[in-house]
Amino acid sequence: MKIGTWSLPNNVFVAPMAGVTDRPFRQLCKKLGAGYAVSEMAASNPQLWKTVKSSRRLNHDGEIDPVAVQIAGADPTMMAQAAVFNISKGARVIDINMGCPVKKVCNMASGSALLRHEDLVARILEAVVKACLPHGVPVTLKTRTGWDREHRNALRIAKLAQDSGIAALTLHGRTRADLYLGEAEYETIREVKSSLSIPVVANGDIDSPAKARVVLDYTGADAIMIGRAAQGRPWIFREIDHFLRTGTILAPPTWLEMRDLLLEHLADHYHFYGELPGVRTARKHIGWYVSGLKNGKSFSDQINRLESTREQFEAVNLWFTAQQEHSPDMAEATCDNHSVRTDHLQAA
């Protein structure tokens, strides 16, 4: 799998997720087998570039290349300027967001709202590609299948992207109106892939090695992108990569390995955010790690009452160590087996 001149180690990617895919999380996912990761969405409005939130999103210190930054906006000139600005901050790939379904983004005519204005889509794509070309930086696009099911235009948008010089396309198999409900439209991804010569990345509902294999085979996509299934489960990337390469299932992490990975994540997270924002923003990550585990809900409630990083870190260490002593077999302590439905794909 290549994006521009960048050769990637595998075709299992991390999806950009606001409030989730910060630098510590991307780094951990890459360490655990993700071949590529895209940053949280960065605003194209220059007035927002000096905020605390933006300064964190612009921090790529020590990140494994290629650093990929996603930008969002509705003005072609601003988007082009944002691309160049992020290149100056270390971006090696620029990704354009035309898929975010969140109301406050769409109300600004950004994200998936752009799918209703194909002429504007073309102008944004051309402006950003042109701005990045002198820097040798490839541009990618992440989008959805349309605004709603009555106005699916993924194929037209995909052809506009290819004609504009976009290096790769990620397609989330839902419309904006679908949000994250229902099943992903792999048929649309398959149609788009068969019509393009640039790489296509399939996104949506991929939550296990078996599902990854089915989606790749059915759609013909060049890569897959994992979003919500990686929350609290960053080792999913090595599990999927191993299965795609060997056809065998990798053993899940033990209690102690899970503990060590979470503690490593927390240490980097605290260093990145500082004390107060660090302890508060870490709560959701810890909750995701223990979700579906026996006694996980009560432990998550306990974590949410702690107000210091030291207390939080120590509580995690003690809880996982105790789980190892009481329930050495992880399978017996797991409430959610991440079952996967593939029958509708096979039938199609």
162 pLDDT higher than 80: yes
- Strands of the chain, DSSP E: 2-3, 6-7, 12-14, 36-43, 68-72, 93-98, 139-144, 168-172, 200-203, 223-226
Which pLDDT score is estimated for 341?
36
**Cα–Cα distance, 117 to 130 (Å, whole number):** 20
Q: What is the per-residue pLDDT across 64-75, written as a single tens digit (0 to 9) for each? A: 999 999 999 999
Which pLDDT score is estimated for 103?
66
**Cα–Cα distance, 79 to 141 (Å, whole number):** 13
Most confident by average pLDDT, 17-21, 54-58, 192-196, 324-328? 192-196
- Does residue 56 contact residue 28 with C-beta atoms inside 8 Å? no
**Nearest-CA neighbor of 55 among 258, 225, 272?**
272
Range 322-346 average pLDDT:
58
Active site (annotated) includes residue 335: no
- In this structure, of 86-100, 281-295, 317-331, the range with the lowest mean pLDDT score is 317-331
18 pLDDT higher than 70: yes
Which pLDDT score is estimated for 338?
40
Q: Which residue has the higher pLDDT, 59 or 98?
A: 98
48 pLDDT higher than 80: no
Q: What is the per-residue pLDDT across 323-333, written as a single tens digit (0 to 9) for each? A: 998 877 765 56
Which pLDDT score is estimated for 36?
98
Which pLDDT score is estimated for 330?
66
Which pLDDT score is estimated for 108?
63
CB atoms within 10 A of CB 338: 13
**Cα–Cα distance, 190 to 170 (Å, whole number):** 12
53 pLDDT higher than 90: no
11 pLDDT higher than 90: yes
Which pLDDT score is estimated for 343?
36
Q: What is the per-residue pLDDT across 89-126, written as a single tens digit (0 to 9) for each? A: 999 999 999 988 776 676 566 788 999 999 999 999 99
Non-local CB neighbours of 253 within 8 Å, separated by 6+ positions: 235, 261, 330
Non-local CB neighbours of 207 within 8 Å, separated by 6+ positions: 226, 228, 229, 236, 338, 340
Query: Among the options 100, 106, 132, 335, which is catalytic?
Result: 100
Which pLDDT score is estimated for 346?
35
Place of tokens 């752009």: 114
Q: What is the per-residue pLDDT across 126-156, written as a single tens digit (0 to 9) for each? A: 999 999 999 999 999 999 999 988 999 999 9
- Does residue 85 contact residue 93 with C-beta atoms inside 8 Å? no
Which pLDDT score is estimated for 56?
84
Domain 2-246: CATH architecture, name and number where available: Alpha-Beta Barrel (3.20)
Which pLDDT score is estimated for 101?
77
Residue 310 phi, psi (nearest 5): -65, -45
Mean pLDDT of the chain: 91
Which pLDDT score is estimated for 331?
58
Q: pTM, whole model, 2 decimals?
A: 0.91
